[in-house]
Amino acid sequence: MQFKIMVSYVLYLLLLLHISPTTAAAPAYTATDFILLNCGSSSNSNDSSRRSWDSDERSRYAPSNAATISTPSNASHQHPSVHQVPYETVRVFTSPFTYTFPVLAGPKFLRLYFYPDIYSTFNTTLSFFSVTANGFTLLSNFSAFLNSPSPSNPSFMKEFIINVEENQRLYLTFSPNSFAFVNGIEIISVPDILYLRGNDVGIKFVDTMPQIYYLKNDTALENLYRLNVGGSDVEIQDDSGPIRGMFRAWSQDEDYIRALDVSYTPHADDIQINYTAETLPYSAPEIVYKTSRKMGNESTSLDWRFLVDSGFYYLLRLHFCEIQLELEPQNDRAFKIYIDDKMVEARVDVIEWTGGTGVPIFTDYITWVPNDGRRGKKDLQLYLGALLWPPLLNGLEIFKLSDSNRNLGTANPEPVISSSPTAVTPSPLEKMTSKKSSLIYVVTGSVTTALAVVAAVSFLIFRRRRRPVKGSVSSYSRTRGSGVPQSSDLCRHLLLEEIKSATDNFDDNFVIGKGGFGNVYKGFISDASRSGSTTTPPLNMAHGNLCDHLYNSENSPLPWKQRLGICIGAAKGLHYLHSGTKCAIIHRDVKSTNILLDDKWIAKVSDFGLSKAGPTGGDHTHVSTLVKGSFGYVDPEYYMRQQLTDKSDVYSFGVVLFEVLCARPAIIHSLPREQVNLAEWAKTCYGKGTIEQIIDSNLEGQIAPESLSKFVETAIRCLRDKGIERPTMTNIVWSLEFAMQLQEAYENRGGHVEADGGISFVGVGTSFPLLDSGSSENVSRSKSSGLPTSSSDQKVMSEDVFSELMNPLGR
């Protein structure tokens, strides 16, 4: 026993010193447990890697009542980038559902496959559920739709490592909030000390070095990144193992590297990789060790950033193999390693660690990502700084560790289906340089995202309110019958110098908020600004956004007429985007938070960060583009077909109309399934004739039945499934103004509207046809009718309906 302890201690010291106890290679790994379930499928089938997947229909792993609490189904639409197996079929769970897997003791890879789509009557955009395995929470209130990589690559896999104890089975439970689903389940055994290294191997703890961290079997891991650094993607069939390996996919690192100089990736296909007893063939495949990323001769560092969840510990495994054969002596290549600004290795010499070229090695580090009081996404930085030759790295794996509550689940991503640049922070080397060079780095980092920054800031500049001088050549011409101006010239482009001048060189005092691309600045552009002088008007973002006055707020509830007036103003803004400019603009992110209210409660359409130029007409009826927008507001037709039209904005505006009426968010995950999505719930209530049951109780006694009927009907038409059946913003402006006239007439008559001209106004449930914009009778009745004249008779300028740049440009 004493001898065994001594041997373990010697091995432990050797591993800490990165010394291989032997160079004898061990055989490749063969998995003892190997389970592939194609969920929802009625027969066995092979995937693209020729692995055979079993059907889970009447499977011994599923519960006996599977047929009554789950439903197999096929995807309504198979995206071209999505493999058929295991993504063509799905099993949907309407009640808690547990798979039971009798496996051998030891750590397992547990991989869950998801493809958000519509399956029969189940729309997975509305699916939220939790997943547990042997007491670990893997996913919590999880939305596969929100976690999907992108509309162009919607399928994805979540990979976990869980240890199964002796005489224990692996229990996998899906617990739906509304309903749950999974397309595929994969379970593959893992070598005992490959990742969960127990008490035998101590891991350097970054935050309190030289303290050692022991990663034991009572921890679950989630793989977030597995990278073939400097190389191409490695498919699962090319991972280690001749027959039944672990089938790990290794991705490129291009999306995470931040280079100060152009990097290059040497390849050494002819080099022999000599595995050791410490770094076995299953540690990483040869293809990973045969490629690496280095920096150019003029650079001295490698710098990667990874988005991770705060409030968790993380395991970083760095793979090294010196493949530059001419660097045989020690000390030729030496470098430092930093993790989140903390130096974890003062001097790394791969040849010194391994004894020569072509010998792989990996080293592990544990770090803590603080949450600063609340969990969210943060950057995790890995930085390699040169001492002599430029540093290198061959492979990288990053795992999230379960917390003290045995939890790995986190909040879903923000419900914006888009990506935004990540802020660049100085690396450790740059922090040691002078203040001047640090400033240059910040500017350089800004230049890398210049297009996004200039676009975002340009759209967030106020223009001085002014009317065209009578008799001058006006840049506007009236849109027939709409009361909204038509631009006849090109939109103005702002120079970066003008933007700097307008914002006093992006002074913090001009920051009025934060958007998807960074800070939002208040500015002022005038003719005088071209000559260098500026004028700073008082802030006009006085009442915040519409959402602030509808729900989850201490603000007093808005009265009905004020809400209706805000909707009219916002509709005019969108109408101007669609019809009032020379090139039609589609906003793509219409929602209550993007409708701002000035000091006079005038609605201003804001945030053109996702705006896009619309179709040019003729055969061009739509714009093919990736889906972007906010969850709960995105047009389902646009989402399914990736074909953007102005009717996509109309759908989103319909959701806003019901937000205004019902004073609730577009999505509430905690509600019963049928009520989660406001648009779907409103359509259901409308069909049942129960709309009055979901109206904001603060509006009781305020709404004229006729006004309500017109308003609801307008909103419902906006939400029609097919864009071609939805009204235009022109129609919507007229209809909402008609609703306002009905409301005012109701109030002027003491709460009762008399019939006039053969038209009878009745309560909710009557269908009012949307009115043709070509006839003034549709909005302005005769004097004898008692209905007021439309406010559209007053000329509306674009600055009356936008909070940002006049004539905003689409992307």
Between CA 162 and CA 156 the distance in angstroms is 20
Structure tokens at 220: 């679950």
Which phi-psi region, left, alpha or beta, contains residue 483 (left: φ > 0; alpha: ψ -120 to 50)? left
Is 236:223 a contact under the CB 8 Å cutoff?
A: no
Amino acid at 774: G
Between CA 223 and CA 160 the distance in angstroms is 6
Between CA 251 and CA 234 the distance in angstroms is 6
Nearest alpha-carbon partner for 184 in 268, 274, 269, 83 = 83
The secondary element (H helix, E strand) that includes residue 30 is none
Cβ atoms within 10 A of the Cβ of 628, count?
21
Is 661:711 a contact under the CB 8 Å cutoff?
A: yes
CA distances from 706 to 54, 694, 763 (A): 59, 17, 6
Structure tokens at 752: 């009762």
Between CA 437 and CA 429 the distance in angstroms is 11
Which phi-psi region, left, alpha or beta, contains residue 586 (left: φ > 0; alpha: ψ -120 to 50)? beta
What residues have CB less than 8 Å from 634, skipping those under 6 apart? 417, 627, 648, 651, 652
Between CA 561 and CA 559 the distance in angstroms is 6
Between CA 146 and CA 309 the distance in angstroms is 15
Is 258:321 a contact under the CB 8 Å cutoff?
A: no
Is 603:574 a contact under the CB 8 Å cutoff?
A: no
Beta strands (DSSP E) in 147-213 are: 156-164, 170-176, 180-182, 184-189, 203-205, 212-213
Helix extents (H) in 449-591 = 450-458, 496-502, 560-579
Between CA 780 and CA 788 the distance in angstroms is 7
Structure tokens at 720: 């029609």
Beta partners for 384?
A: 302, 337
Task: State yes or no: is 589 an active-site residue.
Answer: yes
* Residue 721 main-chain phi, psi, to 5 deg: -60, -40
CA distances from 45 to 86, 88, 186, 286, 495 (A): 9, 11, 14, 30, 59
CA distances from 95 to 182, 407, 602 (A): 13, 22, 48
Amino acid at 67: A
Amino acid at 490: L
Between CA 449 and CA 436 the distance in angstroms is 21
Is 393:337 a contact under the CB 8 Å cutoff?
A: no
In the set 238, 589, 635, 800, the catalytic residue is 589
Rg (CA), the chain: 31
The residues carrying an active-site annotation are 589
